Amino acid sequence: MRKTLFYLLLFPILFGCSKKNNTPDPIKPPVAFSFRLLTVNGISDGYDYKDVNPLPVIKISFTAALNTTTVPSAVSLVDKNTSSVALIITYENSDSSLVIKPSAPLDFSSTYTLNVSNTLKSKEGGSLLSTVTVSLTTAMDTSNKFPLISDDSLLTLIQKQTFRYFWDFGHPVSGLARERNTSGDLVTTGGSGFGIMSLLVGIERNFITRSQGLDRLTLMVDFLTTKAHRYHGAFPHWLNGATGSTIPFSTNDNGADLVETSFLMEGLLTARQYFDNASISKEVELHAKIDTLWNNVEWDWFRRTNMNALYWHWSPTNGWAMNMKVQGWNEALMVYVLAASAPTHTIDKIVYDNGWALNGAIKNNQVFYGIQLPLGPNTGGPLFFAHYSFMGLNPHNLVDQYADYWQQNVNHTLINYKHCIANPNNHTGYSKNCWGLTASDIANGYTASSPSNDVGVIAPTAAISSLPYTPVESMQAIRYFYYKIGDKIWRNYGFCDAFSLQDSWYASSFLAIDQGPQICMIENYRTGLLWNLFMSAPEVQSGLTKLGFSYKKK
């Protein structure tokens, strides 16, 4: 009985064991694998590599041996335009490591992206847990792109090539300067003032004859006198170069622009002082026409009912809607100098002190990069502040109660230079040879670059136009721009507007307000031509005295 019971109890156990042993094990999914190590030319430094040689060796190791048939479709190298680069791929460590090389040298100063997608499989069929993305920026080609010439010859070449923007590309009807190389009939008043000063340099450098320059300037002045729209004597920012009608800069900015007008008058007064031969009737006539334009600007009307400040804009349809005072520190010192200098419609010193100088609040005097900044915003702002008004206004020995203006412009420029060397934002390419932040085109628009608004874009005009202030540092940059990256940025009208070595972006544009200062400030450095002409105007001397400036000719 006990034996029978024992077999009855044993039967289900044996039966159950037999059933379990006969069931196949479930199929296990392939084990996923992961990225383990990345090196570029033997260096492991994250996923962003700069100054890479044109034939880099990229090694990527994984935690499993790879199915090599899945590698070609999973691994890609593309340039900034997402165009694929042919690769040579080999294997190491029992196929768990990839050795990747481009089949041909990569372009210099270019950015590439290496992608490893999760379509990559292991030999066991496992999937890559996460994709791998590597950024590669190739080093510059440091060879000279053009034959070496003397620094003096290089400066002449830059002036001559850039001069073509105003001479060859000047508007055929009005002779005025187009805003940019794609502007068609749109011309700029301020940029035309710079273009007028460039004409004088062109004559002195024998790029054109005096007679040619006189004819072009007469064409411009006649157009400004008979066709161009004016508002209380002031010109708009933009004009149609064929008809003279106003082209709105913005909805409310469709009338007078006092700052642009001041730059135009800066150029016209400089030209008036140049074409001063009383025995040549065309020069006498030109002199009189410029005087009429100059005397008709109602500077005092822009005080807006006698306020102690000047206002930047006035619209025939929207009045003072822009409501923008011309107040410092920025590019517009010329406005107050000319308003005080005007024989008619002048202003008194209180307007300068309260409006421009903000009753002394224009002062800064803080130290940046070890350099004291007398005036303006912290770190100085964009470098065009030191250029536009000072193409005619000589800052040498120019002093008032607020600053020594030579020291202001030198220190502003040095802060900009030292910021680019310090490169706190780690932008590719910045150095003692590659520097200069100012307003310019950028890859997707336009911005006023400065140490406080540094987007990684260098504008050649910034360092070049600062040549009087920082001759050693600017000349280093000029040589670099021409010899080292000239194949990228040297074009038919001189240097292109801007570039970013970080993004391998080089502007296709040229702007009047960036080309003109290069010609003019190089000449001021070399001969002081434009400074001497503008400062010789008796009205200017009177206006500076009225505002409390002391000035001694260098």
**Where residue 16 falls among pLDDT bands split at 50, 70, 90?**
very low
DSSP label of 140: P
Q: Which of 24-28, 179-183, 230-234, 269-273 has the lowest mean pLDDT?
A: 24-28
Task: Supply the pLDDT for residue 143.
Answer: 94
Task: Supply the pLDDT for residue 93.
Answer: 96
> CA-CA distance, 423 to 63, in Å (whole number)?
38
Task: Supply the pLDDT for residue 110.
Answer: 85
- CB 238, CB 256: distance < 8 Å: no
For the sheet with 35-40, list strands across it. 35-40, 58-62, 97-102, 87-92
Task: Supply the pLDDT for residue 3.
Answer: 44
Task: Supply the pLDDT for residue 229.
Answer: 98
> CA-CA distance, 465 to 155, in Å (whole number)?
11
Whether 303 shows a pLDDT value over 70: the answer reads yes
Whether 8 shows a pLDDT value over 80: the answer reads no
DSSP label of 242: T
**Where residue 502 falls among pLDDT bands split at 50, 70, 90?**
confident
Q: Is 444 helix (H, G, I), strand (E, B) or coil?
A: coil
Whether 119 shows a pLDDT value over 80: the answer reads yes
Query: Which numeric CATH code is attached to 35-138?
Result: 2.60.40.1220
Kindly provide the b/e burial profile for residues 401-425, where b requires at least 16 CB atoms within 10 angstroms of the residue's own CB. Answer: ebbbbbbbbbbbbbbbbbbbeeeee
Secondary structure of 332-384 as H, E, C letters: CHHHHHHHHHCCCCCCCHHHHHHHHCHHHCCEEEEEECCEEEEECCCCCCCHH
Domain range summary for the chain, segments of one domain joined by +: 35-138, 151-551
Per-residue pLDDT reduced to its tens digit, 443-481: 999 999 999 999 999 999 999 999 999 999 999 999 999
Matching fold, domains 35-138 and 151-551:
no
CB under 8 Å to 173, separation ≥6 — which residues?
Answer: 223, 241, 242
**Amino acid making up residue 67:** N
Task: Supply the pLDDT for residue 80.
Answer: 85
pLDDT, average across residues 185-196? 98
Task: Supply the pLDDT for residue 536.
Answer: 98
> CA-CA distance, 468 to 395, in Å (whole number)?
10
- CB 516, CB 177: distance < 8 Å: yes
Secondary structure of 292-329 as H, E, C letters: HHHHCCCHHHHHCCCCCCCECEEECCCECCCCCECCCC
Per-residue pLDDT reduced to its tens digit, 153-190: 999 999 999 999 999 999 999 999 999 999 999 999 99
pLDDT, average across residues 86-106? 97
Query: Which numeric CATH code is attached to 151-551?
Result: 1.50.10.140
Whether 419 shows a pLDDT value over 50: the answer reads yes
Task: Supply the pLDDT for residue 17.
Answer: 44
Q: Which of 104-113, 343-352, 504-513, 531-540 has the lowest mean pLDDT?
A: 104-113
DSSP label of 500: E
